[in-house]
Structure 1
């Protein structure tokens, strides 16, 4: 029985050391497809984040309590582009993937279709807007900023309104939209080498 308990303890320790470091996954797959890590699923009001220290997804805290979006739920799957770091602050590029709900911890191949620039407290906060790379997972048929703007102006307006109002304390201002080429340049710029 002692041998079984020792083996179980050893397996438990080994498994706890096997956590995926989502922050340092490759930015691109071997077939050159951009990846996103989903933190907060579409339709969720509880903001989830990947904690680099524990390598676990946890609820973001606000005043010591779980942060709950007291507005409409997330209009897409929210997360980050792995192995990117914006401005040396340790924060990765944020991404909103327009697709059906993907659970926290899902790694999905994406196509960026634009960047929504937000200004919060005088700093720019780019939000990459993307669709899944797999056609079977796509809900909209736009594959670049031009087609997105032409075919889905209402989605653009909804995203603007959501980002401007989902966090009243942040005093967010609209900084404008940038195209898919700008998104690609931004990803290249902030990739960790």
Structure 2
């Protein structure tokens, strides 16, 4: 099955399915290729940075950049590539990449032992680290891609973005 087409979680947008492409702590960037049904190596980050959380996409979503909606899944251990995680949504980071909106949803696995309710449930330093990562992870890229990072927003804003991206996928 093409992982882009995994069924929407029945409790969406509060809980979503996340497909992990990149493990926390990695410098390697992978992208899922739906035509081949595999995860392809895209590149190694040229900056001295690593992904601050496991990173992937939400199936059955489509964004203005032509890709599925991105998601960071915060967990005590890195989550392996190709794992599907039921994820409780906590908020969203507002970004532009090459002039197109490139939101980053953030959440935690639903079976997490600690209770998380919103962005304030996360360590404030983590939110700063993640924002700094996305502000600078392409700084040394040869492609010259430009990224603008704005602010973290509440889970209600994230819910609206998820619903909108599901609608774009289905139309």
TM surpasses 0.5: yes
Tell me the CA shift for residue 54 of structure 1.
0.6
Alignment pair present for 1:37 and 2:26 = no
Q: Which has the higher contact order (CA 8 A, sep 6+)?
A: 2
Is 1:144 matched with 2:115? no
Which structure 2 residue ranges, 5 or more long, are not aligned? none
Deviation at 1:147, TM superposition (A): 3.4
* Structure 1: runs of 5+ lacking an equivalent: 1-19, 61-66
User: CA offsets per residue over residues 24-46 of structure 1, 9 Å max, x none?
Assistant: 00121x56641100011111111
Greater fraction of residues in strand: 2
The higher radius of gyration belongs to 1
Q: Could you say which structure has the higher helix fraction? A: 1
The aligned residue for residue 4 of structure 2 is: 23
Q: Cα offset for 1:119?
A: 2.0
1:143–1:54 Cα change, 3 Å: same
Task: With the length of structure 1 as denominator, give the TM-score of the two structures.
Answer: 0.76
CA distance in 1, matches of 2:31, 2:6: 16
Q: Distance in 1 between matches of 2:112 and 2:27?
A: 27
Aligned-residue RMSD, C-alpha: 1.7
8 Å CA contact 1:124–1:175 kept in 2: the answer is no
Displacement, 1:86? Answer: 1.1
In the TM superposition, what are the counterparts of 1:1-193 in structure 2 within 5 Å?
A: 20-28=1-9, 30=10, 33-60=15-42, 67-70=43-46, 71-87=48-64, 90-99=66-75, 100-136=77-113, 141-148=115-122, 152-168=123-139, 169-191=144-166, 192-193=169-170
In structure 2, C-alpha distance between the alignment counterparts of 1:123 and 1:85, rounded to whole Å: 13
Spell out, residue by residue over 1:127-162, the C-alpha distance to the aligned partner (whole angstroms, 9 max, x if none). 1111111124x5xx43213434xxx22111111111
